[in-house]
Amino acid sequence: MIKVEGVTKRYARFTAVDNVSFEVRKGQIVGFLGPNGAGKTTTMRILTCFLPPSEGKASVAGFDVLAQPMEVKKRIGYLPETPPLYPDMEVGEYLDFVGKLKGLRGNDLAKRITEVSDKTNIGDVRSKLIAKLSKGYRQRVGLAQALLHNPDVLILDEPTSGLDPKQILETRELIKGLAGDHTIILSTHILPEVESTCERVVIISKGKLVATDTVDNLTNRMRGSENIGVEVEGIDGELDSKAVQRRLEQVSGVSKVVLREEKNNRAMFEVESLQGRSIRADLARAVVEGGYALTELKAAGMSLEDVFLQLTSADNTEKGEAA
Amino acid sequence: MSNILAIAQKELKSYFVSPIAYALLAIYALISGWFSLIAIANFIEMSQQGQGPADLNGYVIAPVVSNAAVLSLFLIPMITMRLFAEEKRTGTIELLVTSPVTDMEIVLGKWLGAMGMYAAILLVKLLCLSFVFMFGNPDWRPLATAYLGMFLQGGALLSIGMFISNTTKNQIVAGATTFGMALLFWTFDWATTFKADGWAKVLAYLSLTSHFSAYARGVIDTKDTIYFLSVIVLGIFLTARSLESLRWRA
């Protein structure tokens, strides 16, 4: 449904997207994952015909974004990072205008407005001014706008940013419900969002493609090694954090120990385990047997940077083994 | 065509849901009323000095109309400054450009919407002049040509202002630049006061004043009409190209 081949986007001084290729099949939800400034928005803008690629080809439903932009635009619903809303319009008026832009008229338009208002749960604010809406409602009106002409492809740029936790869950459910009928690309910099919503993931960083895989494969590759936060308190007076660190490093299965914070006779470490080793019990024993108090032991979530590091280094070791 | 109308309608509506339309109409009504009052007082003075009533067209309608043309120099930047600058600032331009409508449809829709706002302003002026028709018996034809002239001149300034609004995200910059350009084009014919040929003639030809004055006198000259129409087309064309350039320039 969506095909990106060797797309590069150069600005005067820097390259925002560098030779990125991926494909999305019909009905899939694909997560576009990367830190801020990775080139997610630029790639999406290329797919929506807002920006032309400097090099490479992109096509939606078989239509090239450069050669047949009208056909592409007819088949795409796009929610930019900031929903494109006119604050001095009422929600109903706004949807009416967008519907006309998308080529809907008369009864069709009225019917679609009702349908998407129900789907996105904005029926109760249809006669409200957009300026008066909360952030959550604005995001939903933005989503309604993208759905209005029932497009084959939905491109959603950070659809859950700025929402409260309940709204985030609702929006994710809504997006999941849309898959099948629609092919969806959504961008995010939040890892769990991809895990909970998407089937496939495309990871980019600094404009380059880092990995593209199914979410299951990705989590498998991640599993095994874990990061554990350990907080230790000295029992009587001074705590020698260096000594504790050495002790933790000696526990079998530990690959790395980093001192995160140290104050008032307390030290916080982050311990990384080797692949496939469960080391929590051993860590706890090591601390207690050393004569310290263990005040906290918790799984530290993986940051996006860790994921990138791990993915890129994992690829390297695989290659190394092959050679 | 229906895409153009949808955009024009949205544009016109946006003037009236914000205070812009009411502020512009109120200011225009006030100043226009003041001009009419002065003109009528002058007319009464002249009638009392001479034998019987003076020429209503010459003493009331003509001065009111030429003042209106000057007034539009000030008002038109306020109509055009937000056209594209606002959409670019808030990001709604992304919606327009990624919708299945052509750049030309967007530009024409916006220009028509702005013309609608300008027409509403001219209507207020007509209201002032309607009193002259109620109590006097002036010739309506010079007024009709003057209105045609005001429409054409307004259309030309609106299309240039729209182009300028598309070159910036900042409304104030767009408004100030448009005002400056309008004033410059208004006064280009001053060049002829010290030089009668060469570049002075070219500048004078570009001047809005020299083309509008015939309409104000009740004369429709093809040369003037072509001038205004070509400025309108030029402005619309430039806006469409600069909208397109958003994409490759970025």
Q: What is the pLDDT of residues A39-95, one digit of tens each?
A: 899 999 999 999 899 999 999 999 999 999 999 999 999 999 899 999 999 999 999
CB interface of B with A, residues 174-213, below 8 Å: none
Contact criterion met (CB below 8 Å) for A79 and A142 = yes
Token pair 């069709």 is found at: A108
Instruction: Inform me whether the pLDDT recorded for A229 exceeds 80.
Output: yes
| Model pLDDT, residue A311 | 67
> Which CATH number describes the domain made up of A224-305?
3.30.70.3190
Q: How far apart are CA A90 and CA A103, in angstroms?
A: 20
| Model pLDDT, residue A306 | 66
ipTM of the complex: 0.87
Chain A residue with the nearest C-alpha to that of B2:
A100
The reply to whether residue B10 touches residue A51, judged by beta carbons under 8 angstroms, is no
The reply to whether residue B100 touches residue A73, judged by beta carbons under 8 angstroms, is yes
Question: Which residues of chain B lie closer than 8 angstroms to A86, CB-CB?
Answer: 10, 14, 90, 92
Strands A63-64 and A55-60: antiparallel
By Cβ distance, the residue of A48, A76, A80 closest to B91 is A80
Taking all residues of chain A, what is their mean pLDDT, rounded to a whole number? 85
Domain ranges of chain A: 2-221, 224-305
The reply to whether residue A82 touches residue B98, judged by beta carbons under 8 angstroms, is no
The reply to whether residue A73 touches residue B99, judged by beta carbons under 8 angstroms, is yes
Reported as type and span, the H/E element at residue A298 is strand A292-300
Q: Does B249 touch chain A (CB under 8 A)?
A: no
What is the pLDDT confidence band of residue A308, given thresholds at 50, 70 and 90?
A: low
Q: How far apart are CA B29 and CA A153, in angstroms?
A: 51
Burial (CB < 10 A; 0-12, 13-18, 19+), residue A277, is middle
What is the CATH superfamily name and number for domain A2-221? P-loop containing nucleotide triphosphate hydrolases (3.40.50.300)
| Both structure tokens of B159 | 């299309």
Taking all residues of chain B, what is their mean pLDDT, rounded to a whole number? 88
Question: Which residues of chain A lie closer than 8 angstroms to B18, CB-CB?
Answer: 88
* C-alpha closest to that of B224 among B214, B233, B232: B214
Token pair 């385990």 is found at: A273
Instruction: Inform me whether the pLDDT recorded for A314 exceeds 70.
Output: no
Residue B190 Cα, gap to closest chain A Cα (Å): 43
Asked if the domains at A2-221 and A224-305 fall in one CATH topology, the answer is no
Instruction: Inform me whether the pLDDT recorded for A11 exceeds 60.
Output: yes
Summarised one tens digit per residue, pLDDT across range A184-215 is: 999 988 777 887 888 888 988 888 888 888 87
Percent with pLDDT over 90 in chain B: 49
| Model pLDDT, residue A318 | 43
CA atoms within 13 A on the CB side of A272: 15
| Model pLDDT, residue A316 | 47
The reply to whether residue A103 touches residue B247, judged by beta carbons under 8 angstroms, is no
pTM of this prediction?
0.82
The reply to whether residue A97 touches residue B98, judged by beta carbons under 8 angstroms, is no
CA atoms within 13 A on the CB side of B78: 18
Cα angle value B22/B77/B239 (rounded, 5°): 120
Summarised one tens digit per residue, pLDDT across range A95-150 is: 999 999 999 998 999 999 999 999 888 989 999 999 999 888 999 999 999 999 99
Token pair 């240039």 is found at: B160
Cα–Cα distances (Å) from B28 to A268, B12, B180, in that order, read 70, 18, 20
β-bridge partners, A297:
A230
